[in-house]
């Protein structure tokens, strides 16, 4: 009888930037500009890695797929965030919230695994150059990409089900810019300890293990580079890896702070700040990092952009 009087939540309200009403137009303009930049920047990388003959290598094949994931990653959250800022209504149906968190986590983990594949590619290229064409053949590259895409799906179906099997009967306001585990667990009206453990275990498996694998690869890569006799060989090897390392530290650094730190040190403001960084800022930086620090990409971009002028 007591349970029948409880009203269960059918939608959530994302508070987002509702505490900054005077900055609504400014925030909308900035986020829209960033989203357009992400789509254009990563879209150009996809085009040049698929059409330029000089970039038909495993490294750029992975980069093209990573750029595609970046567009999908931001498209899960930013269009709805823009809609919420514009309409000043952050309501999101229960089922849409579940779909957003599942898709966002699945794509984010796919990016982690793809970064592992990219690190493995650099390891083989630098540490085992004679075997590189044999090991990193097209079939192996396609398999690594498919594994990166598919692996997160079963685990995230389970995690999403566990989070949304909680009872949400109290305030339905989430102090965040999109549906995420932390504000959802806070909104639940039952003990969430087991679900918090699951979220942390998932983060350990899909954030820390990939990061450790990448770190091991780069320890071996750097050791091999330092043994190279020529200075030009060292600088060339470092330049091909440095952009990848920057992306890795930025992406894994922000996500690990959010999903691996204890609940006692979490706050809604800091969660939103880090979310802005790994969900908005990092994806717009990636194409800039890869293009500015890569001569092959710069040359391919020039050819692509100057082609209409020559024609």
Q: What is the pLDDT of residue 234?
A: 67
Any domain includes 58: yes
What is the C-alpha separation between 133 and 201, in angstroms, rounded? Answer: 37
CA–CA dist 34, 51 (Å, integer): 25
> 134-160: buried (b, 16+ CB within 10 Å) or exposed (e) per residue?
eebeeebbeebbeebbebbeebbeebb
Asked, for residue 205, whether it belongs to a domain, the answer is yes
302/14 Cα distance (integer angstroms)? 42
Question: Model confidence over 10-24: pLDDT tens digits?
Answer: 889 998 888 788 888
271 is in which domain, residue-wise? 7-310
| Residue 2 domain-assigned (yes or no) | no
The residue-averaged pLDDT of 170-178 equals 86
- Residue 1 is assigned to a structural domain of this protein: no
Average pLDDT score over the chain:
85
> Across the beta sheet with 173-174, what order do the strands follow?
91-93, 11-14, 173-174
* CA quadruple 170, 172, 178, 183: dihedral, nearest 10: -20
Quick: pLDDT tens for 37-87: 999 989 988 998 898 888 889 989 999 999 999 999 999 999 999 999 998
In a domain, 108, yes or no: yes
pLDDT at 212 over 70: yes
Question: How many structural domains comprise the chain?
Answer: 1
Residue 276 lies in a domain: yes
Residue 203 lies in a domain: yes
CA 236 – CA 48 distance, rounded (Å): 21
Q: Would residue 260 count as lying in a domain?
A: yes
CATH number at residue 93: 1.20.1070.10
Per-residue pLDDT at 103: 96
Q: In this structure, how many other beta carbons lie within 10 angstroms of the beta carbon of residue 30?
A: 12
Kindly state the average pLDDT of the residues 220-238.
Answer: 76
Tokens 């580079």, residue?
A: 225
Average pLDDT over residues 120-130: 91
58 exposed, middle or buried (CB, 10 Å; 0-12, 13-18, 19+)? buried
pTM value is 0.88
């Amino acid at each position: 009888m007591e349970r029948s009087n409880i009203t269960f939540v059918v939608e959530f309200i994302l508070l987002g930037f509702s505490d900054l009403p005077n900055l609504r137009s400014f925030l909308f303009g900035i986020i829209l500009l960033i989203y357009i930049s992400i789509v254009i920047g990563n879209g150009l990388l996809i085009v040049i890695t698929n059409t330029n003959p000089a970039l038909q290598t495993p490294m750029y094949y992975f980069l093209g797929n990573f750029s595609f994931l970046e567009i999908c990653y931001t498209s899960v959250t930013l269009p709805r965030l823009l809609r919420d800022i514009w309409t000043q209504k952050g309501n999101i149906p229960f089922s849409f919230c579940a779909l957003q968190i599942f898709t966002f986590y699945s794509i984010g983990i796919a990016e982690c695994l793809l970064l592992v594949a990219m690190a493995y590619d650099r390891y083989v290229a630098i540490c085992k150059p004679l075997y590189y064409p044999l090991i990193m053949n097209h079939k192996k590259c396609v398999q690594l990409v498919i594994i990166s895409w598919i692996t997160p799906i079963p685990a995230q179906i389970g995690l999403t089900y566990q989070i949304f099997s909680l009872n949400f009967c109290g305030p339905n306001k989430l102090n965040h810019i999109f549906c995420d585990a932390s504000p959802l667990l806070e909104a639940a009206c039952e003990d969430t300890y087991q679900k918090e453990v699951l979220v942390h275990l998932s983060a350990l498996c899909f954030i820390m293990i990939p990061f450790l694998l990448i770190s091991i690869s780069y320890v071996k890569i750097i050791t091999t580079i330092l043994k190279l006799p020529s200075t030009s060989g060292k600088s060339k090897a470092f330049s091909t890896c440095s952009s990848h390392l920057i992306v890795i530290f930025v992406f894994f650094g922000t996500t690990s702070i959010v999903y691996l730190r204890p609940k006692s040190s979490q706050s809604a403001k800091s969660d939103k700040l880090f979310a802005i960084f790994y969900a908005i800022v990092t994806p717009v930086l990636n194409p800039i990092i890869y293009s500015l620090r890569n001569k092959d990409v710069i040359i391919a971009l020039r050819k692509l952009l100057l082609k209409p002028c020559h024609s």
